[in-house]
Amino acid sequence: MSTTVFVARRIVTMNCSIPLATHLAVRDGRIIGVGDASIASQFGPAVIDDRFADSVMTPGFVEGHGHAIDGQMWRAPYAGYYPRTAPDGAHHAGLRSIAAVTADLRRHEAALVDPAQPLIAWGFDPIYFDGPRMTVADLDSVSATRPIIVAHVSGHIYNVNSAVLERCGFSRDSNIDGLLRDAAGNLTGELQGPAVMGRAARTVGDAGLLRALDVPGLRAYGAIARRVGVTTSTDLANALTETNLTALRGATAEADFPIRLVPAMRAREYSLTDGIALISQLRSQSTDKLHFGMVKLVVDGSIQGFTARLRWPGYHNGAANGLWYVAPAELGAIVEAYHRAGVQLHIHTNGDEASELATEMVGRAIAAHPRPDHRHTLQHCQMADEAIFRRMAANGMCVNLFANHIYYWGDQHAAITMGPSRAQRLDACATALACGVPLAIHSDTPVTPVNPLFTMWCAVNRLTPSDRVLGPPERITQAQALHAVTLGAAWTLKLDHKIGSLDIGKFADCAVLADDPLQVAPEAIKDISVRGTILGGQVFAAS
């Protein structure tokens, strides 16, 4: 058994016993020693790998709320506001108006040869635009006969043209929640929530964020993650169909696949009996690179899409309250069933009403069926206040806050959705920690680009694009932010015994950086370059 000793200028271990080191000894993909140069001779003959001698190493970053479909989204046109970079390195400029979006769609529509082929775009977000929202007429100006779906970046809303409305059987007379109407009662073409969006996706044959995975798409996602220092990522909404399972197993079995994947089964895909049986069966089929065992439950929608559920006084701009994706009367039974079966739940809640309800239902399940160390986790949980966090702590729950929202939508939340007072507690990392709730932070890629250093920067600085510091007391330290994208995220996945820190026996997973995120100025964290990653002792270049 050969040993490799990696040498770095500085190794930040997140290991309380040896917080800093310069040498990391690895055997069979796991860490066998951490320390100074003396460990090179402690384990027999060793290969000294000093290619990162002038770099800083940290534990590999853990994206605790990502979607592996990010690798496939780029096969469709990007219609987002912010510039983005595709897996192949192509740069996509942002589209800053509805007119710009429709003009770009016309360009893509003209390139389609088959008149029956649907045109699907993604990344759209009208909250940034002044004036009226996109309508069916806007998309009919691209084509009234070809099915067109423009998916919002949140994944919770579609805009569609008349061809999609007709094929779905949606009309002025339809009595279905989620069909938006204008003042005259006519459908606007905006579809909110899974019921109407699901029908549209099935009708045109493209499920957007929920489409089937394939191996090339997973390879592309691995490339995206590798470039930003991620060595473990969730796929936090997976139907775990045979098609998806085949893709997951195929990609992660490849020797050069650069990340570990942790899919969470979408609870609403199955009956309670079938869902519990499937996740129990899959748990025993986990490998070093593919870990099963979590279930995802979505309670409400998105704040910027006005589909999240908010407590009084509701939306600052007077919009109607959002949608329950799970009826409150039904949520308790679902949570209790999975909790009683020993399954860990990751529960999507954006609005504070949804977070409060989910916390209450977890508390009821624990009272009925006491179970230590369940680590049920609220995902996003963006508007939780101190009272909700205290109840979460009492229940033994974790939280994974969507810190990137502070930058991408902070100004809009202060002005439009939450108002200036409630927006101060947006993604309240400091309050969560003060209340004793284990904390992770995330990107929700492809909703925002995966980049844990940027996510750290958001939580530490809380700056919006207008240079406003949104909720200064909720800023956390650089050390707390690094913990939240390494060991904190690993804890929420119940994988902290394998990843998240550099300690003996754990996987040798590292991010290799140009600078130490604990030593640079807080505002410089996002500008640190990633030089590579190490996964189980195998080195991957960042580019």
> For the segment 457-479, what is each residue's pLDDT rounded down to a tens digit?
999 999 999 999 999 999 999 99
pLDDT at res. 88: 83
Report how many domains make up the chain. Answer: 2
Q: How far apart are CA 461 and CA 407, in angstroms?
A: 10
DSSP structural state of residue 65: S
Residues 78 and 147 in one domain: yes
Q: How far apart are CA 445 and CA 234, in angstroms?
A: 10
φ/ψ of residue 39, rounded to 5: -75, -15
Residues 299 and 251 in one domain: yes
> For the segment 401-437, what is each residue's pLDDT rounded down to a tens digit?
999 999 999 999 999 999 999 999 999 999 999 999 9
Decide if pLDDT at 208 tops 80. no
Residues 328 and 351 in one domain: yes
Structure tokens belonging to residue 189: 């073409």
Q: How far apart are CA 248 and CA 68, in angstroms?
A: 10
The Cβ-side half-sphere exposure at 309, using a 13 Å CA radius, reads 18
pLDDT at res. 211: 85
Residues 203 and 222 in one domain: no
Residues 179 and 239 in one domain: no
Residues 332 and 439 in one domain: yes
Residues 293 and 152 in one domain: no
We report the CATH number of the domain holding residue 495 as: 3.20.20.140
The whole-model pTM stands at 0.97
Q: How far apart are CA 398 and CA 375, in angstroms?
A: 6
The chain-wide mean pLDDT, for the chain, equals 96
Closest CA to 200 of 142, 255, 250, 160: 160
Residues 266 and 378 in one domain: yes
Closest CA to 510 of 7, 103, 3, 101: 7
- Domain enclosing residue 138, as ranges: 70-210
Residues 385 and 491 in one domain: yes
8, part of any domain: no
Residues 389 and 269 in one domain: yes
Q: How far apart are CA 266 and CA 280, in angstroms?
A: 14
507, part of any domain: no
94, part of any domain: yes
Decide if pLDDT at 302 tops 90. yes
Decide if pLDDT at 522 tops 80. yes
Residues 275 and 224 in one domain: yes
Whole-Å CA distances, 397 to 71, 303, 377:
31, 22, 6
**Mean pLDDT, range 188-205, rounded to an integer:** 93
200, part of any domain: yes
**pLDDT category of residue 445 using cuts at 50, 70 and 90:** very high
Structure tokens belonging to residue 426: 């947006």
Decide if pLDDT at 49 tops 80. yes
Least confident of 77-91, 222-236, 523-537: 77-91
DSSP structural state of residue 483: H
We report the CATH number of the domain holding residue 204 as: 3.10.310.70
pLDDT at res. 131: 87
Decide if pLDDT at 207 tops 70. no
Torsion angle, CA of 204/166/308/376, rounded to 10 degrees? -40
Closest CA to 301 of 139, 202, 129, 153: 153
pLDDT at res. 86: 87
528, part of any domain: no
Buried b (16+ CB within 10 A) or exposed e, 115-145: eeebbbbbbbbbbbbeeebbbbebbbebbee
Residues 140 and 246 in one domain: no
Which residue, of 159, 179, 210, is where some domain finishes? 210
29, part of any domain: no
Residue labelled with tokens 């942002």:
94
279, part of any domain: yes
Q: Calculate what percentage of the chain has a pLDDT beyond 90.
A: 94
26, part of any domain: no
Which residue, of 462, 482, 500, is where some domain finishes? 500
Measured between alpha carbons, how far apart are the two ends of the chain, in Å? 30
Count the Cβ atoms, other than its own, within 10 Å of residue 225.
30
